[in-house]
Structure 1
Amino acid sequence: MHSALTDLAADIAIDPRQAIGIPLALVGAVFLSLGAQFQHRGVTKVEAHTAQVSGGLTVRQVTLLLARPSWVFGTVMLGLAIVLQLSSLNFAPLIVVQPLGAIALVMTTVINARISKVSPTRASLIAIGMCVGGVGLFVTVAAFTAVDKPVTHANLTTILVMLGIVLVAFAVAFFFLRRQFKAIFYILGAGVLYGFVATLAKVIINRVQHANFDWLTLACVLGLLLAAGFGAYFVQNAYASGPPDLVIAGLTVVDPLVAVCIGVVVLGEASQAPIWAGVVFVVAGVVAIWGVFVLARYHPQSEH
């Protein structure tokens, strides 16, 4: 028995610094929820005063958003959420702090129900439970098995190449198919891009701390800005075609899972995790992602 407990302790890597990173990520989730609600309000008001067209928000509509106090305030809140998230990445592994944003989904659901006076259906509540439960299970296991790993030049090059492929793929799809897009595409697209943003942000923070300024660092900054810019545009289009809690559901599930996949496959942050943890990661991820699709289908405010 003693031997079994010793082996289990050896498999678990607990870093006291995570005690700082996790609360920062949770507070960031609160700002994410509030920011989403205010931005959604701003987008819907702009659409109400302009001709609604398919194929994404126009340049004029995007410009008008800057004149909406609710949208600007929401953007400030999201900015604070990003600052807190980046701060949390300085204390805990990527695959620990990223999934904690799922708490924002619960908050956004409650706030949106009170504002819109549209109560969530039983099916949508089950979907939300799948999202939060899947991500919650994931982060619980990750908190005990994840470790920080140094990012090599080869790792970084791989991440940047992957991002380049993703950006080109989304740009081509948007150019040719945007008139057929629904909220779910924009949500998935933004989630994937923000997953890269979180990863690159952690890399840049580390390289700046070590005064490592080279062409790869500049490439990371450029990649982060491109991913954040396209991701932000996709989010605004998602708000224009779907309720805020659906948008947050996608972002708080897809975003961390993409970042986690990068952390596991490229950075090796789960290299010390036992086999059972890998199985839990896969099952929890499938449950969470399926919850997003169920919510998109059964949300009382969703467009089908």
Structure 2
Amino acid sequence: MFTFAIGIAVIAALCLALGTHLQHRAVSGAADTHAAVTHTPTAGTTPPPPRRLVGLLRSPLWLLGLGLLTLETGLNMVALGLAPVALVQPIGTLSLVAAVFLGSRTSRSPRPPARSVLGGIGLTLLSTGLFVGVSAQWSTAPEAAAPDLLTLTFLLLGIAGLGTAVALSAVGHAARIVTAGVLFGLVATGAHALLHALAGSGAGSWVAPAHVVLLIGLIAGSIVGMWIVQTAYASGPPETVLAGLTVIDPLTAVVVGAAVLGEYSTMPLLVVLVLLLTGASAVAGVLLLVRVHPDVVRTGSPVEHQSPTPARQTSPPRQTPPARQPAPALHGAQPTDTRE
């Protein structure tokens, strides 16, 4: 069963990488078209307007990517049902590696990834694997009481409001992927707590108001998270978006689960320090990847810092030399030389 779950998780990771790559191509292509029509600078300075993002629903490439991402979610749920999270979750970070090589092969000038990019990926994968593997050993059932669910709902709605401001602002690529990762981590934690609370209430019991409010928060958080991800596609490569989602998401889920839902309550202090170290290392790997990736370096620089195209110099009109006058007779004397 574990071998079967690993195979499903690998297929899910490939679907995540390919779906992200397709959606990124659709969003960036729409951004280039919008910039060409409106004569505005492309990615990195302003987010795409919501109207243009809604227009992506008519893009076959974007819809194909959405289908692959939906398939990835289903396959990952099956894998988590067959094997422990410590075994399945680190496999999801393989999507980052697949996205890097997929992007390098499909670019206009194919070339292998730079060593700095590979270094950021390696640091991210190793740190995330250690973080998930250690934290999963101390996970306990969440205390899904009504006050805890309401606290989680307020967190979801607050971060969703902040995410809306980020999506509409002109902040950089790193801020977008960190916000999206935190928001999706809250959504995963809320879904986990809601399912646990519904299972504990028993069949035939009434749904509590806290469950309904949390469900509304989950829907709002998912919509805003998808919106931020689409704006991140327009301001950077898919590899960095995947890095943020596959790293910030589980880090947020563990922190919120421990602080709000009472998970990991039996974790020793030494293990907490190990998690803090590996979590900080994983975030550093994501930020390093964002900093050194050539697509972010090329599109993230402000327009005013780019070398402007020199204005075309217009040469002054050529003056027609005056008509040559016949030299006067000087009775054998040489004319005066007036040349400078």
Determine which of 143, 154, 160 is the counterpart of 1:161.
Answer: 154
Residue matched to 2:137: 144
C-alpha distance in structure 2 between counterparts of 1:80 and 1:126, whole Å: 30
Determine which of 61, 65, 70 is the counterpart of 2:61.
Answer: 70
Matching of residues 7-86 of structure 1 within 5 Å? 26-51=10-35, 54-86=45-77
- Per the TM alignment, residue 91 of structure 1 is displaced from its structure 2 partner at its CA by 6.8
Is the counterpart of residue 198 in structure 1 residue 188 in structure 2? Answer: yes
Matching of residues 131-280 of structure 1 within 5 Å? 131-175=124-168, 178-179=169-170, 181-209=171-199, 210-211=202-203, 213-280=207-274
Judge which range, 215-224 or 55-64, deviates more.
55-64
The answer to whether the 8 Å contact 2:236/2:295 transfers is yes
C-alpha distance in structure 2 between counterparts of 1:231 and 1:270, whole Å: 26
The answer to whether the 8 Å contact 2:233/2:241 transfers is yes
Residue matched to 2:311: none
Determine which of 268, 286, 290 is the counterpart of 1:292.
Answer: 286
- Per the TM alignment, residue 95 of structure 1 is displaced from its structure 2 partner at its CA by 7.9
Which digits, 9 at most, give the CA deviation of each residue in 1:96-124, with x for residues without a partner? 86555322211211211111224321111
C-alpha distance in structure 2 between counterparts of 1:152 and 1:94, whole Å: 24
C-alpha distance in structure 2 between counterparts of 1:96 and 1:150, whole Å: 24
Aligned AA (1:289): V
The answer to whether the 8 Å contact 1:25/1:88 transfers is yes
The answer to whether the 8 Å contact 2:163/2:228 transfers is no
C-alpha distance in structure 2 between counterparts of 1:88 and 1:296, whole Å: 30
Structure 1: 5+ residue runs without aligned partners?
Answer: 1-16
- Per the TM alignment, residue 21 of structure 1 is displaced from its structure 2 partner at its CA by 7.4
Identity, in percent, stands at 33
C-alpha distance in structure 1 between counterparts of 2:275 and 2:50, whole Å: 41
The answer to whether the 8 Å contact 1:86/1:201 transfers is no
Determine which of 275, 282, 285 is the counterpart of 2:276.
Answer: 282
Structure 2: 5+ residue runs without aligned partners?
Answer: 302-340
C-alpha distance in structure 1 between counterparts of 2:117 and 2:209, whole Å: 46
The answer to whether the 8 Å contact 1:93/1:269 transfers is no
Determine which of 114, 130, 140 is the counterpart of 1:121.
Answer: 114
Aligned AA (2:149): L
Cα 1:20–1:138 change in 2 (3 A) is: farther
Residue matched to 1:3: none
The answer to whether the 8 Å contact 1:24/1:88 transfers is yes
Which digits, 9 at most, give the CA deviation of each residue in 1:229-285, with x for residues without a partner? 111011011111101101101111111111111122222322233332212111100
Residue matched to 1:112: 103
Which structure's residues are more often helix, by fraction? 1
Q: Report the secondary structure of 1:145's partner residue.
A: coil
Cα 1:24–1:256 change in 2 (3 A) is: farther
- Per the TM alignment, residue 63 of structure 1 is displaced from its structure 2 partner at its CA by 2.9
TM-score (norm 1): 0.83
User: Which has the higher Rg, Structure 1 or Structure 2?
Assistant: 2
RMSD (Å), alpha carbons: 2.7
C-alpha distance in structure 1 between counterparts of 2:211 and 2:84, whole Å: 20
C-alpha distance in structure 1 between counterparts of 2:209 and 2:4, whole Å: 32
Aligned AA (2:270): W
Which digits, 9 at most, give the CA deviation of each residue in 1:180-220, with x for residues without a partner? x1211211111111111111221233344444622111112
The answer to whether the 8 Å contact 1:95/1:263 transfers is no
Cα 1:173–1:243 change in 2 (3 A) is: closer
C-alpha distance in structure 1 between counterparts of 2:94 and 2:254, whole Å: 17
Judge which range, 265-274 or 189-198, deviates more.
265-274
Cα 1:207–1:90 change in 2 (3 A) is: farther
The answer to whether the 8 Å contact 1:43/1:236 transfers is yes
C-alpha distance in structure 2 between counterparts of 1:152 and 1:23, whole Å: 36
The answer to whether the 8 Å contact 1:99/1:253 transfers is no
